[in-house]
């Protein structure tokens, strides 16, 4: 697998559309670099994996918070 992915590659892996992948990069949620004369965005495979792990951690926190609130009732 190549070290760097395109926005289209990221969109395919996350099963979202390209504008959504671009929004993740522009917001800073998904770290990327611009390369070449046209400033094409490239996302390192490791950055995509980190983004995915961060989303899992966030989902786990949200579930725990929800359970905690439910238990307090």
Contact 22, 32 (CB under 8 A): no
Residue 64 is predicted with a pLDDT of 92
Q: What does the pLDDT average to over 25-45?
A: 96
How far apart CA 24 and CA 28 sit, in angstroms, is 6
pLDDT in tens, 39-72: 999 999 999 999 999 999 999 999 999 888 888 8
How far apart CA 38 and CA 10 sit, in angstroms, is 19
pTM: 0.84
Residue 13 is predicted with a pLDDT of 97
pLDDT in tens, 18-27: 999 999 999 9
């Amino acid at each position: 697998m190549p070290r760097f992915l395109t926005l289209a590659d990221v969109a395919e892996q996350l099963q979202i559309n390209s504008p959504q992948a671009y929004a993740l990069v522009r917001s800073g949620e998904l770290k990327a670099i611009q390369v070449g004369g046209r400033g094409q965005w490239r996302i390192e495979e490791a950055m995509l994996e980190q983004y995915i792990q961060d989303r899992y951690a966030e989902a786990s926190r949200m579930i725990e918070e929800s359970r905690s609130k439910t238990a307090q009732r």
